[in-house]
Amino acid sequence: MRRRVFLVTGIVLVALVLAVALVSLFWTPFPAADTTGGRLEGPGAHHLLGTDKLGRDLLTRLMIGARIAVAVGLGAVALGAVLGGLAGLLAGFANRWLDDTLAALLDILIAFPTLLLAMLVVAARGASLASAIVAIGLAMSAIVARLTRVLVKRVLAMDYVTAARTSGVSWPRIVTAHVLPNIWPTLAVNLALQFGLAVLAEASLSYLGLGPPPPNASWGRLLQEAQSTVLTAPTGAIAPGVLLVVLVVGVNLLADGLRDVADPTRRGHR
Amino acid sequence: MSLLTVSDLTVSSADGRTLVDGLSFSVGRGHRLGLIGESGSGKSLTTLAVAGLLPPGLRASGTVLLDGTSVLGAPERSLNRLRGRVAAVVFQEPSTALDPLMRLGHQVAEPLRRHQGLRGAALKAAVLASLEEVALPARVARAYPHEVSGGQRQRAAIAMALACRPALLIADEPTTALDVTVQAEVLALLDRLATAHEMALLFVSHDLAVVGKVTDEVVVLSAGRAVRTGPLRSVLADPGDAYTAALVASARRLDEALGGAL
């Protein structure tokens, strides 16, 4: 029951941010480049959350930031899942030599700090939304691959896979019927957690000025821009921070709840 | 010709230790053979070698002929034609022998679909018939493995193994994970099914009393070597070597404690 509450709360929080991101595609309170507001206005009737130091509406900027956060999260997870999943499956099935090589490679990749890797990618490709997605997705794929490899190996060691082999079931069929369904719950929960981490990583990159360049209003950039005026206009720093927390906590709760939905042994027992 | 002929089977690990040492035995059609030995005596490796499932790190030599086809070193493709149709395996631990995320009906259906080409209503009827054969109620088909008891899981695993009507059933400690009353039921079931389908049985156990319930011939393994081979009665009457004698004596003690007569 408690878990159900987690799941619902997670869904609500994530849906909230998704809705904001979607709405921002069609409508924002002010145009993105509108600088007609006063500088650093506090929350009010005209600008609900106030304005930044260039007179831009903060709510508008936050809504566009939601779009970027969601885009980077989904993009990085998609890239990480495909690349990492395939590499992990390969390593899981590989003979000892190939497996050892891949495992060592993955360990090196994981030991490499995400931000450093991201800086390399940004240096090579230039700062952009796509660079952020590629950088974070690459770092994530190493983690996903390592997890997938272990999960695949665990399933392959199970008697039901041996039993399937003894009754002559082909390898492709074993992968689709037994391996994928059995690794998917754990993998899905991990990918949901990775989504939250990707959003945070993008905020960090943007905070350092390596994310999507201005005038893109990533939450990390909003935090960085509000830093110098945090004492006189705290909303500018608090609002993006709160939104980051809402999305990341929401995704984590969702991930936790997902595990129970995906696993029949934990489903429907009180 | 025998259904299964194992001659001079030797399995050694990558670091050169000999795990199974020059083992030879054969199982004729409809015959039953018990493979007895303690943990680490090479029983399970022998069954894996017979089914062509040895882990990649191990080297095997000698010959294993299953229905006239050599198993050792054979490509996966030719093994696939043997597996299921000629030989099927029932494992020790029913909780890992069944996919936890697949309904039991689906798992039983899988070999039926593959080997008998059944689809739709015919497949459904065949699944129910298979379940009935191992004395499982029809509702089990809709259940996940964790929703039924250990004995029922093992019955489902047996139903899966039998689905392709194998000529040889390899049972690797099929009752060890079960409690004693359920053990007796599953043994009786195996006995009945083997008789009904004229199926040969290679029965592996560390428990002489259990083997005694289903087989008529035994091979006693110790440290990878066959120390005694022969009909069960003569092994009991005249154990011969020290290891077999100890095994028989302990089985007798247990039997006397339970008030039966071996």
The residue length of chain A stands at 270
* The pLDDT of residue A149: 93
Residues of chain A contacting B110 with CB distance shorter than 8 Å = 164, 167, 169, 177
Pairing of strands B18-27, B200-205: unpaired
3-state helix/strand/coil string of B44-103: HHHHHHHCCCCCCCCEEEEEEEECCEECCCCCHHHHHHHECCCEEEECCCHHHHCCCCCC
Question: Is B111 an interface residue toward A (CB < 8 Å)?
Answer: yes
Longest C-alpha distance within chain A, in Å? 75
CA distances from B25 to A207, B2, B40, B43, B220 (A): 73, 10, 19, 13, 11
Distance from CA of A172 to the nearest CA of B (A): 13
Check A168 against B157: CB less than 8 A apart.
no
Least confident of A104-118, A186-200, B226-240: B226-240
**Cross-chain Cβ contact A166/B51 below 8 Å:** yes
Nearest-CA distance A93 → chain B (Å): 12
Partner-chain residue, chosen from B84, B87, B93, that has the shortest CB–CB distance to A159: B93
Asked whether residue A186 is domain-assigned, the answer is yes
Give pLDDT tens digits for B105-114: 998 888 888 7
Across the range A196-205, mean pLDDT stands at: 92
Look up the domain containing A63 and give its range: 2-26+49-266
Residues of B in contact with A170 (CB under 8 A): 80
Position A233 pLDDT exceeds 90: no
State the DSSP string of chain A: -HHHHHHHHHHHHHHHHHHHHHHHHH--SS-TT---SPTT--S-SSSTT-B-TT--BHHHHHHHHHHHHHHHHHHHHHHHHHHHHHHHHHHHHS-HHHHHHHHHHHHHHHHS-HHHHHHHHHHHH-SSHHHHHHHHHHHHHHHHHHHHHHHHHHHHTSHHHHHHHHTT--HHHHIIIIIHHHHHHHHHHHHHHHHHHHHHHHHHHHHTT-SSPTT---HHHHHHHHGGGTTT-THHHHHHHHHHHHHHHHHHHHHHHHHHHH-GGGTT--
Domains held by chain A: number: 1
Of residues A95, A163, A185, nearest to B91 (C-beta): A163
Query: Whole-angstrom Cα distance, residue A28 to residue A23?
Result: 7
| Cβ atoms within 10 Å of A213's Cβ, excluding its own | 15
Taking the Cβ of residue B256 and every Cβ of chain A, the question of whether any pair is shorter than 8 Å is answered with: no
pLDDT for residue A246 is more than 70: yes
Test A160 with B98 for CB contact under 8 angstroms: yes
Question: B131 and chain A: CB distance < 8 Å anywhere?
Answer: no
Percentage of chain B modeled with pLDDT above 90: 8
Most confident of A24-38, A175-189, B35-49: A175-189
How high is the pLDDT of residue A266? 67
A-chain CB neighbours of B98 within 8 Å are 160
Q: How far apart are CA A84 and CA A141, in angstroms?
A: 4
B158 reaches A (C-beta below 8 A) = no
**Cβ-based contacts under 8 A for chains A and B:** 79
| Chain A contact set for B92 (CB, 8 A) | 159
Nearest C-alpha in B relative to A269: B147
Of the candidate ranges A201-210, B76-85, B226-235, the one whose mean pLDDT is the lowest: B76-85
Question: Quick check: is A31 in a domain?
Answer: no
Q: Which CATH class is domain B4-258?
A: alpha beta
- Burial of residue B89 (number of CB atoms within 10 Å: 0-12, 13-18, 19+): buried
- Does residue A195 form part of some domain? yes
Is A180 a domain residue?
Answer: yes
Put simply, whether B93 touches A (Cβ < 8 Å) is yes
Contact assignment for B97 to A159 by CB distance below 8 Å:
yes
Read off the CATH number of the domain in which A161 is found.
Answer: 1.10.3720.10
Q: Is residue A161 part of a domain?
A: yes
Query: Over the stretch B95-153, which tens digit does the pLDDT of each residue have?
Result: 788 998 899 999 888 888 877 778 888 899 999 999 998 889 989 999 999 899 888 99
